[in-house]
Structure formats: structure tokens, C-alpha cells
Amino acid sequence: MIKTGLEKRAGGTVARITIDNPAKLNIFTPDTLKDFRKAVEEIQGQSVRAIVITGAGEKAFIGGADLGTLGSLDPASAREFIGLIHDACAAVRDCPVPVIARINGWCLGAGLELAASCDLRIAVDTANFGMPEVRLGIPSVVEAALLPRLVGAGRARWLVMTGETIDAKEALAWGLIEKVFKTEIFDSEVNKTIDNLLAGDPEAMRAQKRLCKLWEEAPLATSIRASIDEFARSYEFGEPAKRVKAFRQARKARH
């Protein structure tokens, strides 16, 4: 089950998407994956500035894919199911606004692939991370391909080949997540990050997300050319001039 909600903040509207099946660690079933992708796509049409993805309860972000489903697949249905996981992750990567993974517990398999697809990952200090698929006779695939970009080739191999889990402290040291906080300040720190994102110009933020995705996928020369185009385009409606003027005035007032 997927729950969605909108929150009005000083800088704009933020959407929250919750995978809501805490009794089963918020696992991904085929229906949940379809509903999740639909929720992400529908939210984009509601003028939101950012999206926060999390799992219900305190035990899990997403505990992976449904084992009953994994145990019943054949080659054809396996291709279809993994396509659903990819579609869910691609919806996040293609979303034009920043997406934060609020990792409140176990983050395994397809859950870690989804987290890797988000722009920023913030975890509670009790979270654990792993890619245990090889222990079930299958490789880690689709957006697991993002892991070497986050943690490097050797550590990505460690995750997908050993199937071992790592805790939040180690995940932070590896670069798998950007921030980790104790439970009592977790949500206040997530909200600080949201407010930092909302402080940016909406169109500049969309351009930045497009570039970040391109930087991961394209050759350097292509990325630089596109960056130049985005920089020039940002001046079409005068927003940089207004913001630079306001910044200089505020700095002058402080001194």
C-alpha cells in the first residue's frame, strides 16, 4: 500500500510518499511497485518542490522484494517483475524535482536500489543496508548499477557479491548515504534538508537535477556542453539578477 500527502512549507509544497506495510518491512510486491510509480508520476503534476520517500513504522525503509513473488517466478515473469522495479526507480530518477530517501530502518535489495535512485539519502543511525540477492540465487540488477557511482567498484562488489549487511555508520563512511542522525533528531534534520532544497530557485533546481542525472550517464564533453546550455538558459527570465541583487543587499545589511 502506498500513502501520499502534501505539506505546505515556507518555500513551497513538499510531497511525502510512504510504502505502508510495516508488518512485512514495507516490501515491494508487484502491485506496490505499480502503485508507487503511479504515485510519483501523479505528484509531479501538483507543483511540488521536493518529494520525500520513506517506509511506514520504525523498522524498515523497504525490506526488499516480496519473497513469495521471487520464489514463484519463471524466466518470463522474472523479466516482467524486475521491469517493475526498474520502472519504480526510473520514475524517481526522471522526476524533475529533488527526491530524498528518508531511510528509517532496513534498506535491502530493491529498497536499496530505490534509495540509490533518489537524489539524497538520509538515514537513522539504526538503519542497515544490504544487497542479499545472490544468497537467493539471483544477481543484483537494474538500479544496483548505480552503486559503483556511489561507493566505488570494490565496495559495490562487496555489497552485491557477499550479500552482507552494513550499518548506517559504515554506509556513511562508504558514501552510500549522505547523512545519518539519531532517532530523536532524525525528522528535524530531514526537514532542514528540505528547507535547504526549497531555498533554491525552482527552475534552477530542476536544471540542476537534469544535469546531475546527465553527469552520471554521459561522457564528460557532453555533460559540459549541456551544462553551458543550462547556465545560459537560466538567464532567460532574469531570476539570477534578482537573486544576486537580494544576496548583495542582505550581505551589505549584515556589515
133 is catalytic: yes
Cell of 148: 559503483
SS3 24: helix
Round the CA-based radius of gyration of the chain to a whole number and report it.
Answer: 19
Residue 105 burial (10 A CB sphere; 0-12, 13-18, 19+): buried
| CA quadruple 18, 24, 28, 30: dihedral sign | negative
What letter would DSSP give residue 44?
G
Contact 87, 132 (CB under 8 A): no
The catalytic position among 7, 133, 170, 236 is 133
Helix (H) or strand (E) holding 2: strand 2-9
Residue length of the chain: 255
239 is catalytic: no
d(CA 106, CA 61): 6
Q: Which of 7, 58, 113, 170 is catalytic?
A: 113
Annotated active-site positions, please? 113, 133
